[in-house]
Amino acid sequence: MRSSVSVRFQLLGLPILAAVLYAGSCCGVQAQRPKSAWYYHALTGMEVGPTGAQFGHSDPTDTRYCSRFDGTQIVQSAIAAHCDYLVLWVRDGDYAYYQSKLLPVAPGLKSRDPLKDAVREAHAHKLPLLAYCVVQQGGHYLSAHPEYEMRGMDGSRLGRFCYNSGYLEAMKQIVAEQLAYGIDGFHIDMVDQGFGQPYGCWCDSCKRLFHKRFGHDMPKSVSWDAAWNEMLEFRYSTSEQFEKELRAYIRSVNPAASVDFNYHGNPPFSFEVGQRPVQHAGNADFVTGETGQWGFSALGVGLNAEFYRASTPGRPFQVAMQHGVRMYHDQTTRPVADMQWELFTLLAHGAFVTIVDKTGFEGQLDPIAYQRMGKIFAEAHAGASNFGQDPVYDVGIYFSARTRDWYGRERSGLYFQSFQGAAKMCAYEHLSYGVVLDENLTLAGIRRFPTLLLPNTEILSAKEIDIFRQYVGEGGNLIVTGQTGTRSRMGEPSLTACDASEALIGGKASASLASKDNWVAFDNTTPTVLTRDIPTVWKFLVEGPAVAYTCTTASPLGNLMEPERTTLQKQGKDTSDWPMSAGRSVGPAALLNRIGKGRVLTLACSPDFATASDHHITEARRLLRNAVQMLEPTPRVTISAPANVETVVTDDPKTRTLRIHFIGYNSLPQTTAASTRPYTLPGLMEEPLLFRAEIRTRFDIRSAAAGRTTQIEKSARRVKVTIADVHEVILLKY
């Protein structure tokens, strides 16, 4: 993510050239590789690269840098640490880490060639050796080639590469030089167009191409109108074409080489990066992206994995984490338990995992880091048969790229908060969730979810609404929250849009509330399943967007209240940043509407947004949980466990085995931060959590099994466990 710091890794594939049988991909974007390709079978790997030039413009005469960067030693260390593949750093914004004739060579290498050594050693051990190759990082190369540089609206140089500039041809020469070493593929990092203002690119080449495509000049401001819509499309297609053409070229040189691009289509990334969730996930052999508390939160680990899965259904997906305490290059190593928690969260969610290792300045490896990575990789391999099964979902959480761009605009976090809050609720409440994306939405695709949740999906098309109606009509459960469906395609508040979703909701939106500090209350006439663990006749804050509805075909439940406002607030002389107490009722808190065999439960407030807010009260989260359980009262599996234990349920129908993964998170308390108080990163996890959990099923359990240290107690449709490990998996035969 931010600038070049995350410049990351890559991998690559099998030397098996024969039998390259291509099958059509599920999303039709491109051909898929044969199932013999390395990434169909890999579980753990590493990306190893140097530290010292990651910010670009390093001293080209400093021969200490990479003087000990040793391809043979890196491969041997990765193999000893149980890697299934290795991504070796070969090019960044400053240097090549091999004897390049096209690029400056890292000064400490002198006549050595770590890539040549690594390929020889890796092939001797049949280890797929992939080249980490940067495409987007300022440094010595871009300084020498200003003709490839992105330009801002005012023509200023942006320090990044423009993908329409002719740079693609230069990249082809660079990857050809690397392919000649016999590598098995590439991790390309990263096809972004920046991570915020100023946005690019307004270079002469982009201006010409834009005019040719749209018949007029590029917009000269961020106008959020039809011209800006074209600009977004232009930027998206620029990234897509670059990815497709670079990959096609690599394939033309070596048809067996795998190609993946470091993905930036998921939150917290938005339009500025130039990637959409689906459009830019499918242009490689598999999607790969990053996680880590430094940029994505503890809950983002599992959520990122599910997002990648949704962006390329049916295909392998990879997630990268780091062994550094805070980031990639910080030269530190996390405790084993902290890395175990992250690694096993990713594996349980179905990803294969790369750990990023950044060597010391001279290229030296940290033996303790390799010892710890080796320990957890060995554990992963020992339990390999428990990963990769199909998930059993309770809820599909909907994500709309259109809403991200046109409601979120330059404050996309406001949209992400509802999406991420929904995932947080599911994780805390042990509801298994997957992600559903607007770009590849189909009725067949959402049938696997008993319940679909639309968290503040402000922009809905007629096509989406029609698919949701069919889904509910045939028995699906739909939960709608906040201001879903209240805006036009261009993101403006719209009565026409509200009318379009009225039949789905069974209510007429009379107003979207301007306030975020909105309140709800339920009385004793509300079905108790919706008020479980919530006091009735009690007003509680559900911070987030809300809508005043009047019911048409739906039944009203509870009350929604707007907040009081002081005289100064009404006069605009005081802010309303802090929640104020409840004021008058403006409509029902919820609406329950029946369509065919299914039901739509609309929450006029936003418990998802509230769950991810600074004013998260547990009742707001429980309201959303209760909504799911009200619509689906007897799921296949119900799990009770502490909120800091993440669970994942998978099914292997062939052996009639359900697997319930438990991953206990045990971050330690922190002191205040020296800056940005009160915001702190979570403390590290040093030891496993000891916890009890219970699994209830709607089927008779034939047998239940767990690891050696877990206490287990089985009855007909219930299993009680006491777990003292970071990760445990309970196998239930049905």
Judged by the rule CB under 5 A, the positions of this chain that interact with Zn ion are: 162, 164, 201, 203, 206
CA of 360: how far to CAs of 272, 292, 369, in Å? 33, 21, 12
CB 162, min distance to Zn ion, A: 3
Which tokens is 599 given?
Answer: 């039901």
Whether residue 171 is preceded by a cis peptide bond, meaning omega within 30 degrees of 0, is no
Do 593 and 472 form a contact (C-beta atoms < 8 A)?
no
Question: Based on CB atoms, which residue is closest to Zn ion, 175 or 206?
Answer: 206
CB of 218 to Zn ion, least distance (A): 10
Half-sphere exposure (CA, 13 Å, Cβ side) for 257?
27
- For Zn ion, the closer of residues 274 and 408 by Cβ is 274
Euclidean distance between CA atoms 502 and 582, whole angstroms: 27
Q: Nearest approach, Cβ of 271 to Zn ion (angstroms)?
A: 17
Three-state secondary-structure class, residue 696: strand
CA angle 624, 625, 631 (to 5 degrees): 95
Burial pattern 474-488, b for ≥16 Cβ within 10 A else e, equals eebbbbbbbbbbbbe
Q: In one letter, which amino acid is 251?
A: R
Nearer to Zn ion, 206 or 624 (CB): 206
With tokens 């051909």, the residue in question is: 31
Least distance in angstroms from the C-beta of 226 to Zn ion: 21
Which H, E and C letters describe 639-692, residue by residue? Answer: EECCCCEEEEEEEECCCCEEEEEEEECCCCCCCCCCCCCCCCCCCCCCCCCCEE
**Measured distance CA(716)–CA(734) in Å, rounded:** 11
Q: Is the peptide bond before 678 cis (omega within 30 degrees of 0)?
A: yes
Q: Which residues pair with 319 in a beta bridge?
A: 289, 353
Whichever of 204 and 533 has its CB closer to Zn ion, that residue is: 204
Farthest-apart Cα atoms in the chain, separation: 81
Helix 367-382 to helix 336-348 angle (10° resolution) is: 40
The Cβ of residue 207 has, within 10 Å, a number of other Cβ atoms equal to 15
Name which of 398, 395, 477, 388 is nearest 430 in CA terms.
395
d(C-alpha 516, C-alpha 578), whole Å = 10
**Cα dihedral: 78, 81, 82, 84 (round 10):** -20
Closer of 162 and 369 to Zn ion (Cβ) = 162
* 167 vs 416, beta carbon nearer Zn ion: 167
| Nearest distance in Å: CB 112, Zn ion | 37
CB proximity list for 302: less than 8 A, separation 6 or greater: 345, 346, 348, 349, 423, 427, 646, 648
Minimum distance between the CB of residue 196 and Zn ion, rounded to whole angstroms? 18
How is residue 467 written in tokens? Answer: 């698919």
> From the CB of 207, what's the least distance to Zn ion, in Å?
8
Nearer to Zn ion, 135 or 203 (CB): 203
Q: Decide whether 48 or 162 has the Cβ nearer to Zn ion.
A: 162
In whole angstroms, how close is the CB of 165 to Zn ion at the nearest point? 5
**Are residues 608 and 455 in contact, defined by beta-carbon separation less than 8 angstroms?**
yes
Cβ pair 378, 84 in contact under 8 A: no
In one-letter notation, the amino acid at residue 363 is: G
Phi and psi for 416 in degrees, rounded to 5? -60, -30
As measured in angstroms, the least distance from the Cβ of 374 to Zn ion is: 45
Q: Between helices 114-124 and 71-80, what is the axis angle to 10°? A: 40
In 3-state terms the chain splits into helix, strand, coil percentages (rounded to 5) of 30, 25, 45
Q: Which is nearer to Zn ion, 124 or 144 (CB)?
A: 144
CA angle 149, 156, 242 (to 5 degrees): 30
Helix (H, G, I), strand (E, B) or coil at 562: strand
Instruction: Write down the least CB distance from residue 246 to Zn ion, Å.
Output: 16
Nearest approach, Cβ of 149 to Zn ion (angstroms)? Answer: 8
User: Considering beta carbons, is residue 201 or 435 the nearer one to Zn ion?
Assistant: 201
What is the C-alpha end-to-end distance of the chain, expressed in Å?
44
CB of 408 to Zn ion, least distance (A): 24
Residue 166 CB, shortest distance to Zn ion, in Å, is 10
What's the min distance (Å) between Cβ of 142 and Zn ion?
A: 13
Closer Cβ to Zn ion, 210 or 296, answer by number? 210
84 or 149: whose CB is closer to Zn ion? 149
Q: Which CB atom, from 196 or from 596, has the smaller least distance to Zn ion?
A: 196
Least distance from Zn ion to the Cβ atom of residue 224, Å: 21
- By C-beta, is 161 or 328 nearer to Zn ion? 161
Cβ neighbours for 644, distance < 8 A, ≥ 6 positions apart = 664, 665, 666, 689
* Residue with Cβ nearer Zn ion (280 or 430): 280
Q: Are 339 and 293 in contact (CB under 8 A)?
A: no
Write out the two tokens for 318.
Answer: 């990879």
Report the residue number, 164 or 354, with the smaller CB distance to Zn ion: 164
Q: Quick one: CA torsion of 450, 452, 693, 307, rounded to 10 degrees?
A: 120
- Which residue matches tokens 């010391």? 360
Nearer CB in complex with Zn ion: 162/689: 162
Q: How far is the CB of 605 from Zn ion (least distance, A)?
A: 44
Q: How far is the CB of 193 from Zn ion (least distance, A)?
A: 9
Distance between CA atoms of residues 434 and 309, nearest Å: 8
